[in-house]
Amino acid sequence: MKILVTTPSGKVGQELVKVLKERGVAVRLGAHSVEKTRQAFPGLDVVPLDYGVPATLEAAVQGVAAVYLAAPGDFPSAPEKALVDAAKRAGVKKVVKLAAMGIEGSDNPMRQVEEHIRASRLAFTFLHPTWFMQNFTTSHAGAIKAGTLAEPAADKKTAFIDARDIAAVAAEVLTRPGHEGKTYTLTGPDLLSRAEVVEILGKELGRKVAYLPVTDEQFRAAVKAHLPESYVELLSALYAGVRAGWTETKTDDVQKVLGRPPISFARFAKDHRATWA
């Protein structure tokens, strides 16, 4: 029986596909961009999965034993709830849901999806990671290359986590028993301010990278031409949480699940050096 991986081009999804493939686990990739995903993972079972097209959800879960469930950050809950219902009808046994640190007690759509999974009585594990290191190789890559990282994060710290660790945890809980009903809060090993982040990047690259703390207003003005309004609102709220100190926490859940420490930011910087070179 197969494992369905949603968002297989996502920061975590693509790493999860690699881990499951290496372990010889049968996977089905439920892709939003089908051709892009086929090119990235030749020879694997790639099917269309578009949260805006209900029939694709129903088809993607047929013959599947477990689902890794994720969606873009600014998504409503209804499409993922529909996928959970389709999974239940198709006889899926387990759902592993990627959400985010700090959603407990909120009415965030990710929390609504989790409540729906609980009510479905499917076996589940919830993953609550903090901010990903991979944001620095994707949305912030151009700024780092140009020499200045501007974020409305003040001098607050975050224990950034490598998406490879989240994927490794997801693979573990998808393929081995003992994690049902649990929520893992996933962080990296070190609490770092953005100033410390650029210092590590600068050391790795052999040139100065600056951190420019900006206000919420300056941030909104800089990104509004490039991002949908809902995403700007989401990011603005997330950065407000950083400035309030909500990310200044770290856990040992990666160590507990994997039996090894999480990847450090220095290791991440070394592994992705070419992105900013």
Ligand X SMILES: NC(=O)c1ccc[n+]([C@@H]2O[C@H](COP(=O)([O-])OP(=O)(O)OC[C@H]3O[C@@H](n4cnc5c(N)ncnc54)[C@H](OP(=O)(O)O)[C@@H]3O)[C@@H](O)[C@H]2O)c1
Identity of the residue, 25 or 75, whose beta carbon is nearer to ligand X in the bound complex: 75
For residue 89, what are the CA distances in angstroms to 62, 81, 234?
9, 13, 33
Residues 72-91 interacting with ligand X (rule: CB under 6 A): 72-73
Q: Tell whether residue 245 is a contact of ligand X (CB under 6 A).
A: no
* Binding segment (CB under 6 A) for ligand X, from list 131-139, 191-199, 222-230, 239-247: 131-139
For residue 186, what are the CA distances in angstroms to 129, 130, 214?
4, 6, 27
Q: Tell whether residue 62 is a contact of ligand X (CB under 6 A).
A: no
Q: Tell whether residue 32 is a contact of ligand X (CB under 6 A).
A: yes
CA–CA gap between residue 128 and residue 147 (Å, rounded): 31
For ligand X, the binding residue among 70, 92, 117, 171 (CB under 6 A) is 70
Identity of the residue, 9 or 175, whose beta carbon is nearer to ligand X in the bound complex: 9
Supply the DSSP string of 76-107, one letter for each residue: -SHHHHHHHHHHHHTT--EEEEE--TT-TTS-
Q: Tell whether residue 28 is a contact of ligand X (CB under 6 A).
A: no
Which helix H or strand E contains 257, and what residues bound it?
helix 253-258
Q: Tell whether residue 135 is a contact of ligand X (CB under 6 A).
A: yes
* Binding segment (CB under 6 A) for ligand X, from list 2-10, 85-93, 145-153, 172-180: 2-10
Q: Tell whether residue 98 is a contact of ligand X (CB under 6 A).
A: yes
Query: Does residue 75 contact residue 109 with C-beta atoms inside 8 Å?
Result: yes
* Binding segment (CB under 6 A) for ligand X, from list 9-17, 115-123, 195-203, 218-226: 9-17
CA–CA gap between residue 166 and residue 149 (Å, rounded): 24
Q: Tell whether residue 129 is a contact of ligand X (CB under 6 A).
A: yes
Q: Tell whether residue 132 is a contact of ligand X (CB under 6 A).
A: yes
Q: Tell whether residue 100 is a contact of ligand X (CB under 6 A).
A: yes
Q: Tell whether residue 109 is a contact of ligand X (CB under 6 A).
A: no
CA–CA gap between residue 161 and residue 172 (Å, rounded): 17
How many residues touch ligand X under the rule CB under 6 A: the total is 23
CA–CA gap between residue 50 and residue 241 (Å, rounded): 30
Q: Tell whether residue 49 is a contact of ligand X (CB under 6 A).
A: yes
For ligand X, the binding residue among 2, 50, 88, 243 (CB under 6 A) is 50
Identity of the residue, 55 or 207, whose beta carbon is nearer to ligand X in the bound complex: 55
CA–CA gap between residue 130 and residue 119 (Å, rounded): 25
For ligand X, the binding residue among 24, 42, 43, 52 (CB under 6 A) is 52
Give the nearest residue (CB) to ligand X: 10
Tally of CB atoms within 10 A around 272 = 18
Where do we find the tokens 């070419």? 274
CA–CA gap between residue 172 and residue 165 (Å, rounded): 11
The binding site for ligand X (CB under 6 A) comprises 7, 9-11, 13, 32-33, 36, 49-52, 70-73, 98, 100, 110, 129, 131-132, 135
